Every structure is written in C-alpha cells, then in structure tokens.
Homo-oligomer: A and B are copies of this chain.
Amino acid sequence: MARPSEFDRDEAIASAIKVFARQGFAAASTSDLLERMGIARQSLYGAFGDKRGLFLEALRRYAAGSLEQMREALAEGTAAEGIEAALLVGLGPSDDVESGCLGVGSVVEFSRSDPEINALNDAAGETVVAAFAARVRNGVEAGELDAGLDTDAVGRMLLVLRSGLKVAARGGASKSELRDAARLALRGLTSIRPRR
C-alpha cells in the first residue's frame, strides 16, 4: 500500500474557507491557501485538482454548515424569535471582523458567470428559502404570524434580508444595528394588520 495523507482533509477545507471568506476567490493566492492550510503545494493539487476545485469544495462545505446553523437557530422560541435568530446567526463583528460569508461573497464576485458555482448557490438559496418558509407556515398555524402571508414569498424576502445583513456586517455594522434592522423588517409579519 501507499503512504497515507499527512493532512486532515476536513481541517484543510475549514482553513481554506476562512481564507476565501476573508479575501474572496481572486484575491486569495494559492500561496496564502497553502500556508493557512498547512499543506504542500502538490497536496492541494492532488487532493482538489486546482484552486477552483478547492473553492467549490469549500463553498459546498460552507453552505452545508451555514444551513445547519440556521436550522438550529430557526427552531428557537416563537416563529418571530427563531427567524430573527436565524437571520443573525454567525453575523456581527464578535466572530471575526474580516471574515465574510462565502455564499454572498461568491454571488457578488461571480454573478452568473460560473455555472457550477451558480448551481451551488442557487440550490443553497432555495434550501434556505424553504427552511424559512416552513418556519413561517409553522408560525402562521400557531397564530403567531399573519395568516394572509405568501409563505414562499416571505421565505425569499428573508433570504434577501439575510444577504443584506451579511453585507452590512462585512461593512462593519454592530450586532445591535443588525438586530434592529432585522426586527424592523420583520414587523410586517407579526399579527393581523389592517389592509390599506
């Protein structure tokens, strides 16, 4: 048999996520990645093909982890509380001032120019929307949210809102500013309100 790998693939990807999240794809040099991942050049190309392959793997991993975080937060308290928690989880300068969201980062950096990245982001977005929508339906059934809501549309709005919060966090907004913004945008969902 052959000599086994000396590095842990999961740890290496986790380190790559940090680098990509802070610097973006283009600005993260392979040397940066190798240094932070603690592996040799050949190991990277052997294990991930090339820089883009590593990025795709990192994006997949990040999306899965991010979704899991959101699902947990979403289950908290009332529907409004859970949604607010899911919108804010992982944000704010408390974690890492310079570290951004790989999802938002890749959408902004690549737009629709890379089909594979697009497919990944589209799928991740739909999953998040579905999770939000399910919690909204749940809240409506519990009488916590306005019964007249189009739950899918609300799900999409919440994804938009979360993207905006991530941009604001990356721009330096404080946790309390983010929370206030989230609450204000959520006002329209709670309780029955007169139609104009």
Contacts and interface: CB of A to CB of B under 8 A. Distances in A.
Given A24-B24, A188-B185, A168 B159 contact: yes
Interface of A: 22, 24, 26-27, 97-98, 100, 104-105, 107-109, 111-113, 118, 121-122, 125, 150, 153-154, 156-157, 159-165, 167-168, 170-173, 177-178, 180-181, 184-194, 196
Given A98-B112, A161-B160, A185-B185, A180 B153 contact: yes
Nearest to A118: B172
Majority secondary structure, A binding face: helix
Contacts of A125: 171
A150 B187 CA distance: 13
Nearest to A162: B164
B98 A113 contact: yes
Contact of A26 (B24, B118, B187): B24
A100 B105 contact: no
A100 B111 contact: yes
A188 B97 CA distance: 31
25 contacts: A27-B109, A98-B111, A98-B113, A100-B108, A104-B108, A108-B167, A112-B171, A112-B172, A125-B171, A157-B180, A157-B181, A160-B165, A160-B167, A160-B168, A160-B178, A161-B161, A164-B164, A164-B167, A187-B188, A187-B189, A190-B196, A191-B193, A191-B194, A192-B194, A193-B194
A157 B171 contact: no
Contacts of A157: 180-181, 184-185
A181 B156 contact: yes
A98 B150 CA distance: 30
Contacts of A109: 24, 27, 108-109
B181 A187 contact: no
B171 A107 contact: yes
